[in-house]
Chain A
Amino acid sequence: AQRVTQPEKLLSVFKGAPVELKCNYSYSGSPELFWYVQYSRQRLQLLLRHISRESIKGFTADLNKGETSFHLKKPFAQEEDSAMYYCALSGRGDGGYQKVTFGTGTKLQVIP
């Protein structure tokens, strides 16, 4: 079974402060991990995926297999970063095909 845990429902930081959104996973194989973001009144959209190793809007995430974590980080928070963030894992489901499991999400609130 695969599981994604986001321990914080709400994270409040001041503008300019560093941000770290936590994500831990449980999966027996080699997972593929994603971060999705939902801004106010917008659709859920992909922010980044670990396989591409890119930085989007200043955010980065490193897969730590030893700690089974995929934390999302940004050195300096901006007001426009306020949104709901979901960590997701792609792994092999019961049907033999890959399926995506989402965490419960963390609301990031950047205080001006």
Chain B
Amino acid sequence: KAGVTQTPRYLIKTRGQQVTLSCSPISGHRSVSWYQQTPGQGLQFLFEYFSETQRNKGNFPGRFSGRQFSNSRSEMNVSTLELGDSALYLCASSLEGASTDTQYFGPGTRLTVL
């Protein structure tokens, strides 16, 4: 089976712009979770989607949003970018949910905000 893929792998944006990141889960996986990884804060949970519905949301401002499509692919959007949004954004897929099943991580999208 192909692993989790994320596009693009690298992004450079300027403050105030918006960005959309994409995640394709492993075939058959219905849950997709998103995380922000920074050197100072480590891995922080953004949200989890299951069958096109958001299950849980972390403590991030409303500028961070996401969605999941019927084929389980997921997108994450960040509007009005700030310098502090520079990070590695990871998505992970699992069969039925991150809490009960093994999560398989993608390679991440490295976002740099100038």
Contacts and interface: CB of A to CB of B under 8 A. Distances in A.
Interface residues of B, number: 26
B42 A104 contact: yes
Interface string A81-112: 00000100011011101111111110000000
B12 to A, nearest CB: 22
**What range describes how many residues of A lie at the interface?**
20 to 34
Given A98-B97, A99-B48, A99-B99, A93 B56 contact: yes
A10 interface: no
Given A102-B43, A104-B41, A95 B105 contact: no
Interface of B: 3, 33, 35, 41-45, 48, 54-58, 90, 92, 97-100, 102-107
10 contacts: A32-B99, A86-B42, A95-B56, A97-B55, A99-B45, A99-B55, A100-B103, A102-B43, A102-B44, A105-B43
Interface of A: 32, 43-46, 49, 86, 90-91, 93-95, 97-105
